[in-house]
Structure 1
Amino acid sequence: MRVTTPATDLQSLTERWLKAPDLDAAGGRSGGPAWAALTAALAELAPADRRPDLYRDGTLDTTAIAAVTGLDHLARAAAAGITVSAVDLVADLADFATRNQPVIETWILLNADLPAGTDITLGTYRLTVPGRTAAQALVALPRMARHLPAPAIDPALLAGSTFLRSPAPQGRKYGRGALYFADFDRRPERPHADVLLTLQMWDLSASLHPEAYYHVEAGRHVRGTWGAPTIEPAFDHLGNEVGELHRRHGPHVTPAQLPAFTHFCTSVHTMITAVRSRTTSSTGKPSPTAVALDSASRRLLRASQRTFGGDYVDEADAEDVLLDYVVAIEALLASDGRSDKRRTTRQRAAALHTSDQTRLNVSATVGRAYTQRSRYAHGEPQRPLSDADITAVRDVAFSVFLRWLITTMNCGEHVLQQLDDSLLSGQARTEITTAIDQYLAAHPAAPVS
């Protein structure tokens, strides 16, 4: 039988429960009268029409509440004679019950080092750097942290780190605290390719990597779904180990650079979104430029995730990374079925650049990459690829990707024809290169160090 108790009695009910936390022989909460009275008060504070996430089949899901809040741990602490502040617990429970149902999000921990307070909107994503207070507010009972296991997003280690936040996929359910298999995806970055590539393009000299993924219900429940943060020992000036820290060894943005970083990323991501959303008027299917963008972005992301420190690729991955870059360039520049894709890709890649010397360098780099790819594909002997080889192709691939984006925003589905025209027409060449140069001047990337 359900116990009905005024919510104003939450203080006394909490104190009563802490004195008799209803543990069974195995040390788990048994659901006795003190627990029933306490959860009845919570039900009054959190009705089903406002907090449906706390109910199952119309009944308050007390098992889930105990698990996601950590009340089970507090029961064991109280039973062991540890002093648990009833005042703090009441404040936490009241906050937990009276807040609105949280939005389910995916939080991606990045290795980037961004200024405190960063909060940038990129389509449906938010790039944020939560401080300690904001990180503590993610859990259900922040005042009880000293009695509970460290949360998945630990404020002591991850406050000040960079997170990319996005709405959770359709169908994702609220955490119930039951045992279940964690999400498993060997390439969880794939759904976030557009925004991750946008952030990577800001500074190619530093490799951007997602370190960990989290299922977040702010103020209710947080769990890790894939990966783990890079935690290293922290030392004082004398070399003594004094704790741990999250090493942010990826792209670095200073406070002075933040406006330019925001401007660049917002604009590039907007272009990517616009091209990806293109469809053909006759069928409603993705347009040729949208298909090319999808193929290129997947390859670029796959290659960039196997690059570390800006230019290091493991020898075992070097040939595959080179292949990814060549396929990405070809997807953008040879998707119209022309014969001799190698020549066509070299010429069009060069046409996206301004000075004659740069055009010659780009053409030569693409040509060498094709030669190396062919030897790899046909099992022919070749010298080992160096970091310099991979870096040269990488720089061209990302340059082509950004310049192709700018050009297709101006030329639409005729982008490849316009590039071909620019090889014979000085006016067509000037139109393309002027638009690219003006865009890059107005949206500068990170300065080359």
Structure 2
Amino acid sequence: MSKHLPLRDAVLSWLEYAGSLSPKSHSIVMLMLQPHWEDVVMAVAAVAPRDEHPDLYAKVKGDWMLDHRTLLVESGLAEAAQLIAQGVSVPVSDVADSFVTFCTGQARVPERWLLLNATFPQRTRIALGRHTLQTFTADELRQTVPAPALNGLHPWSLDLDLIAGAPFLHVPDPSRTVTRRPTWFDITGPRAEAQHWQALLPLMLWDNELLRVDSVFTVQHGRRFDLHPPAVPTTIRVYPGSQGREEEVEVRDTGEFHVRPIHLSALTAFCTAITKKIDAITAGLTHTRRVPKLRARRLERAGRHVVAAYQRTYDDYGIWEVEADELYLDYVIALEALLISPDDGKDEGIASRIRSRAAALFLTPTERERTEALVRRAYDARSRYVHGDKIKEQSEHEKLEELRALRLLTLQIILRWLVLTPADTGDLAPLLDAAAQGTGREQHIDRPLHAFFATTSPRSRPADIVLT
């Protein structure tokens, strides 16, 4: 740390002058003109050469030079000077230490963070392929922002207590341009939740309760944290207050997807198993054989459409009326993607085969009959919608009940498809066709499903799975 003392001392001297400016005079140019700024720049150059810290430099008229905007704005120095000018008590020693770390530490790879409307136990950390599901304390979140000592000193500070303990899916994204604004709609590619279906799907398969993505943003530890308070859905809760009065508190809206501490180890085991199966199937994209490639693409298609349907379902029985009919498209596309065989061709019997194969995934006659009936109604609704006809007359409650049942069925089919799909180049469809005819059911369907649910069951065990 002693070799960084000249930089630390230069920052402290500069803050003394910059903080004395009028609050209205804190432009980048004015801050650069203050005494000791050149000392700061020279000290940074001495401890952070461009070959080791290229993120601190920019090309100016063909020459590489330290980027003053990066040093002032991204580090939090300009913010510290402005707060001092406003009369706020700023811990300048902590700010100087943070600036030294900002300049001398290696820049972290930007990450995409997905805020989920759910509740998980404290210290949750589950690997989901390249993604990690994690809950953070307020202090851990504070360490991700530049100049953490400044957080909470101004009215536009991030309310880290609001998102403390919230579940985030995060994944490295080296190509991401870090911004200061939430990036819910990404014009450079598909919607963010669809891009991350592989990490979301295992969680959705774990529990029947709805799981949605509330916000998507970019974090570069110690540099940028682009989540803004309006990107966090909140609700008002009423708590008993002093002297018998009730107190209203704004808290994060956590939805209905709650994982209790007692279930965390089972969830971790389930997610590990499902992620392994998803990774094995998606690896087929690089395979030389036709079936693994098609299977990988179809799983991706099914995952994207199911996640999209979830994102448009705002609670268990809640769907915007103008979008309700469109959800049949998402669910039927997901079913077709998984249950069509490369050898089926394009004949008239596709709908019948999908119904039969979907039903074959279930172990009791009652569940098979229910599945066939529900898939038949979904196909009929999908066809009517696509052809511009009116979907069967239903009350709003009946439609929501039907879409909920279809959502749960689709997830069950995805789960069972993942469990049963051969690990080699074989296709599941012929096995399902044979099982529908009473051949090979015990070996290819019943026994593998019983084995999976006996050791790696989701939170809600299906009605047709009876373990002895």
Same fold (TM over 0.5): yes
Of 370, 381, 397, 1:372 maps to 381
Q: Which amino acid aligns with 2:337?
A: A
Q: Structure 1 residue 107: deviation in Å?
A: 0.8
CA separation in 1, counterparts of 2:182 and 2:428?
49
1:158 aligns with 2:157: no
Name which of structure 1's ranges 356-365 and 13-22 shifts more when overlaid on structure 2: 13-22
Name which of structure 1's ranges 193-202 and 302-311 shifts more when overlaid on structure 2: 302-311
Count of equivalent residues? 440
Name the residue aligned to 2:233: 230
Give per-residue Cα distances to partners, 1:183-215, cap 9 Å, x unaligned: 6358321110121122111112x2111111121
Q: Structure 1 residue 126: deviation in Å?
A: 0.7
CA separation in 1, counterparts of 2:300 and 2:202?
14
Give per-residue Cα distances to partners, 1:140-185, cap 9 Å, x unaligned: 2111224456455x422111111100111x532456x7x9999635
CA separation in 2, counterparts of 1:354 and 1:283?
31
Give the root-mean-square deviation of aligned CA atoms. Answer: 2.9
Counterpart mapping for 1:132-281 below 5 A: 132-148=138-154, 150-151=156-157, 154-168=159-173, 170-173=174-177, 184-185=186-187, 187-204=191-208, 206-224=209-227, 228-238=231-241, 240-241=246-247, 243-279=249-285
Q: Which amino acid aligns with 1:117?
A: R
Measured at CA, do residues 89 and 282 of structure 1 come closer, stay the same or move farther in structure 2, by a change above 3 Å? closer
Of 419, 428, 433, 1:406 maps to 419
Q: Structure 1 residue 429: deviation in Å?
A: 4.4
CA separation in 2, counterparts of 1:422 and 1:243?
56
Name the residue aligned to 1:27: 26
CA separation in 2, counterparts of 1:12 and 1:321?
61
Q: Which amino acid aligns with 1:111?
A: N
SS of 2:151 mapped into structure 1: helix
CA separation in 2, counterparts of 1:127 and 1:280?
27
Name the residue aligned to 1:7: 4
Name the residue aligned to 1:353: 362
Which runs of 5 or more structure 1 residues have no equivalent in the other structure?
none
1:131 aligns with 2:137: yes
Q: Structure 1 residue 122: deviation in Å?
A: 1.0
CA separation in 1, counterparts of 2:428 and 2:301?
17
Measured at CA, do residues 423 and 229 of structure 1 come closer, stay the same or move farther in structure 2, by a change above 3 Å? same
Report the TM-score, using the length of structure 2 for normalisation.
0.85
SS of 1:84 mapped into structure 2: coil
Q: Which amino acid aligns with 2:223?
A: R
Q: Is the 8 A contact 1:233 1:241 kept in 2?
A: no
Q: Structure 1 residue 357: deviation in Å?
A: 1.4
CA separation in 2, counterparts of 1:84 and 1:440?
56
1:60 aligns with 2:73: no
CA separation in 2, counterparts of 1:249 and 1:428?
39
Give per-residue Cα distances to partners, 1:397-426, cap 9 Å, x unaligned: 111111111111356432111111222344
1:18 aligns with 2:31: no
Report the TM-score, using the length of structure 1 for normalisation.
0.89
CA separation in 2, counterparts of 1:182 and 1:357?
43
Q: Structure 1 residue 285: deviation in Å?
A: 9.7
Name the residue aligned to 1:100: 106
